[in-house]
Structures are given as structure tokens and as C-alpha cells.
Structure 1
Amino acid sequence: MRYAICNETFTDWEHGRICDFIAGCGYGGLEIAPFTLAPLITDVSSERRSQLRSQAEMAGIQIIGLHWLLAKTNGFQLTSADPQVRINTGNYLAELAYACRDLGGDVLVLGSPQQRKIPEGASHEAAEVYAADTISYAFKALESSGVTLALEPLTPKETDFLQSAESAVKLAQRIGHPNVRLHLDVKAMASEQKPISQVIRDNAHWLKHFHANDENLRGPGFGEIDFKPIFQALKDVNYTGWVSVEVFDYTPDPETIARQSIEYMRSCE
């Protein structure tokens, strides 16, 4: 397995310090939440992007991609009924793809539950149409940058749109573009009717990226979910992407989260 971790875990740590620390823990990749860099990704200059990439590479770390793409932004909505909002959002996804490329990554994880709600009075089907249209404005950027947009199913507690791997694959099929694939998250899969290992196997053809965490919002090994069958499923389907630790409960501290998460995952391997 190739292990990465998300940078917002480290709150106010300087980027170079994060890279040095996670390299020492045994991680090879870092996933970045854009809001940790600037209010908008377009505020991050080409010089700053180059600096961030160089600092990571000097530590032996690859910046693998971006997630929380639309979090803490204003005016963007994946499922908006307003055509201009969809254009603006799609164009912003394009800018995120270019930034991802500049940083050395190749995946954008599209979660952002607050920016993908079904519009009032609209059906899930209508929201799918709106989302597909929004994403279409990023096609050229995804192609030219070599970046994949990975649709992330989330739990019913978090969103009313794309609550299962099946629904995310359905949207990817509607979009029909090779740079639009599936992201799977352990916490989210725990809310599905099928066992997590079966969700992985059933959707392996679409799988681009993977988040490791627990249903309790902490890191792998910090809760009740057993990762042995999860990793067995990933191996059985020949998954070669990153396994990236994403937590939402930052206790007790970043160092403990990072160290114990990778130790647990390695023991499960």
C-alpha cells in the first residue's frame, strides 16, 4: 500500500514541517485541503505552488492531490439550478485541476457536502443533471492537466446527494468522461447496507482514490472498524492508488494520529 495523510490534520503546522514529520512516520504522500493554503486556490501564486511542491519533494513526499475542494468558499454549488453558478463552479474546479497539477498531484476528491445539496423542490435526478453539467466545464482542464476528478459518496448524515458508491458511479456513468471516477471513504462506506469489502469489490472498476478513517471520525485503528478485510479487498481488486488518512476528530494530537494510523494499517497488511 502507498500511504498518504491529509494536511488539515496538522492545523497550523508549517508545510515543510508537515512534510518532514510524515516522511519520518513512513508516509509517501500528502493530500491538501485548498482552504489551508488560501481562501481560493486562485489566490495561490505559481511561485507558491512551486515552493510547496519543492518542499514536499525535498522531504521525499509527493503532493498527491486536493480534497475539500469547495469547502469554505462562497458562491459555488455543484448542484445549483442556476446555470451561471454551475458555470462558475465548473470553472473553479478547472482551476483546482491546474493547481493540483502544479503541486504534483493527479486527483481531486469531490466531497464538499455543503456545496452539493439537492436544490429545494428538485429531485435527485435533477441534481444529477445539474452536477454533470457543472463538471463538464472542467473537462478540458482535467484532460490537459492529467488530473482525475473522483466523486466521493458521503453518509446521509452529511449530505442528501450521492449517499452511496452506487449513486456516485451512476453519476460518473452519466458524465461519461475518463477523468471522472470514484473515490471511496471508509467512514462513508460504513453507512451502506453492504459490507465495506463488498462495496470495494463491486465498484473496483471505477475506483481512483481511497480515504482511511473510522466511523467515529478518527483515524484507522482508533475505532471499531477492522481494516484487515478492507485491505484484503483492495489487494484482491489490484488497487494501486493511495490510501490516504483523513480524520475529522483531531484528538489527541496530529503526531499520535499520524503515527498510530500508519502503524495500524501496516499491521493489517
Structure 2
Amino acid sequence: MRLSLCNEVIRELPFDRQCALVAGLGYQGLEIAPFTFGPDGWRLPAARRAEIRRMCSDAGLQVSGLHWLLAAPAGLSITAADKTVWQKSVDVLRASVDLCAELGGSYLVHGSPAQRRVAGKDDVARAEEAWLLAGEQAALARVAYCIEPLSRPECNFVNTLAEAAEVVGRLGNPALRTMVDTLAATRMEPEPVADAVRRWMPTGLIAHIQFNDSNRRGPGQGNDRFAPIVQALREAGYGGWIAMEPFVYEPDGPACAARMIGYVAGLLEYAA
């Protein structure tokens, strides 16, 4: 298993300094939120893409994947009845798939709860059509496109792994997968997260893991126990990325990044 940091945690730093800090702490990758490069981060010019990949490589890192796909520009929604808004949202998703592949990433995480709220069946149909089109692009780019179960009340559509699996199965594209966000899973799954990992990992649908405490801080900064989750991942033979995605950075982003990897790396060593 390889450890990645979601780069918005340290977004106040220039990207080359992000890379230096993350590599120095012992991470192997950065999970990129395109909005950290501005409202048009999803369509970075080719030269900037090459520069980002070079800075990661020079630091001994990889771009593991992308997340927060629809956080910018403002006003996006895959459930919008407005065809212009919906199409722009799909265009951003498809372009983000290509961005991920060009940066060397292997997965995208579609969370973006505010941009997928539903009020009826038509909204669900529009969301699934958007995911179908994003999945087609992901298949061409040879990356995994993960529909992320998120917790209520922030998100009212696809809240559990079972619901995500149902959507993925209905759309029928192997590039469409799901993933485990431990905060959401702690709140929404009918069983402990470690048991959910044991149940769902053998299905082949889980392409990624994000660690965060249910208090919205990082792993090791709350009461959630991550050792059983790490053990379950080890037993399941998971060899992919674990990304650290806190939402509250205390005392600050760099310190939070250091605390998280110290805690999780220790768990990985113990479980080996």
C-alpha cells in the first residue's frame, strides 16, 4: 500500500514546495484537487501539466489521482436540468479524466456532494448519464473512475457502498468503480469500516481508499481506530493508494500532513 496526501491540505504552498514537503515526510504521492490550480485547473495547458509531472518526479513522487472534480468553476452540477450547466459539468469531468492520465494518475474520485444533489428521478438519470460519459472517457484513458459514497446531510445521492455498487453495476463499464472514504463509511455503512472492507474488496469494485476521521480531521487525530481497517486491507491483498483527506487542518496543513503519515505508516509497519 502506498500513501498519498490530498494536496489541498497544503495548497497555500507553491507546488514545488508541496512536492518537497510531501516527499520529505515519506509520502509516495499527491492526490490532486484541480481547483488548487485555479478555477480552470481542469484544463491546464500542456506545458503546465508537464511541469507538474516533472516536479513530482524530481521529488520522487507520483500524482496518484484526482479528486474534488467539480469544486471549480462555480455553478457546476451533474443533476442540473439546465442543459448548458449539465454539459459544462460533463465537459469538466471528461477533461479531468484526460488530465489525470497525463499527470500519471491512476484514478479519479467523484465526490463533489454539492454538485450531485437530487430531487427526483430525472436528477438521478442525469447524474448517471454524466457518470456513464465520464466512465467512457476513463476507459479510453485507462484510469479508474470512482463514484464515491458520501454521508448525509452533505450528500443525498449514493451514500453507501451498496448504493455505489448498484449504480456501477447498472452502468456496466469496468472503468467505473467505487472507493472507501472512511469518514463517510463510518457514518453510513451498516457495519464497522474494517468489516465493510472485508465484504466489498473481493468484489473488485473498490479501486481506492481515503483516510479521514469521523471528526473531519486526519487519521490519528480523533477517536476512530484505523488499525483494524489497515489489517482488513492487508488481509484483502489491497496494494493500491491510501490518500489522506482531512477537512480540518489542525494545527495547520503541514503539521496535519506530518501527523497523519506518522500514524498510518506505523500501522502499516505493524500490520506487515
Question: TM-score interval w.r.t. the shorter chain?
Answer: over 0.9
The corresponding residue for 1:250 is 249
Look up the equivalent residue of 1:14 and give its one-letter code. Answer: P
The corresponding residue for 1:237 is 236
Look up the equivalent residue of 1:25 and give its one-letter code. Answer: L
The corresponding residue for 1:169 is 165
The reply on whether 1:135 has 2:131 as its aligned counterpart is yes
Map 1:98-117 onto structure 2 (within 5 A). 98-117=98-117
The corresponding residue for 1:6 is 6
Residue from 177, 186, 193 that aligns with 1:190: 186
CA 1:227–1:157: 2 relative to 1, 3 Å: same
The corresponding residue for 1:203 is 200
Greater alpha carbon shift after TM alignment, 219-228 vs 39-48: 39-48
Whether contact under 8 Å (1:41, 1:99) holds in the other structure is no
The reply on whether 1:264 has 2:263 as its aligned counterpart is yes
Q: 2:78, 2:195 → 1: CA distance?
A: 29
CA 1:265–1:48: 2 relative to 1, 3 Å: same
The reply on whether 1:146 has 2:158 as its aligned counterpart is no
- The alpha-carbon deviation at position 84 of structure 1 amounts to 5.0
The corresponding residue for 1:157 is 153
Whether contact under 8 Å (2:146, 2:207) holds in the other structure is yes
Count residues in correspondence: 265
State the Cα deviation string for residues 227-259 of structure 1 (Å, max 9, x = none): 111011111211111000001001102222111
CA 1:36–1:65: 2 relative to 1, 3 Å: same
Whether contact under 8 Å (2:139, 2:175) holds in the other structure is yes
The corresponding residue for 1:37 is 37
In the alignment, structure 2 segments of 5+ residues that lack a partner are none
Q: 1:43, 1:150 → 2: CA distance?
A: 20
Identity fraction in percent: 35
The corresponding residue for 2:223 is 224
Greater alpha carbon shift after TM alignment, 80-89 vs 133-142: 80-89
State the Cα deviation string for residues 59-81 of structure 1 (Å, max 9, x = none): 00000111000013234212234
Two-structure CA RMSD over aligned residues (Å): 1.5
The reply on whether 1:178 has 2:174 as its aligned counterpart is yes
Q: 1:72, 1:56 → 2: CA distance?
A: 23
State the Cα deviation string for residues 113-134 of structure 1 (Å, max 9, x = none): 0000003xx14xx443222211
Whether contact under 8 Å (1:217, 1:249) holds in the other structure is yes
Q: 1:137, 1:48 → 2: CA distance?
A: 26
Look up the equivalent residue of 1:243 and give its one-letter code. Answer: I
TM-score (norm 2): 0.92
Q: 1:68, 1:255 → 2: CA distance?
A: 20
Whether contact under 8 Å (1:148, 1:181) holds in the other structure is yes
Whether contact under 8 Å (2:80, 2:126) holds in the other structure is yes
State the Cα deviation string for residues 131-156 of structure 1 (Å, max 9, x = none): 22112223442122112110111111
- The alpha-carbon deviation at position 85 of structure 1 amounts to 4.0
Look up the equivalent residue of 1:38 and give its one-letter code. Answer: G
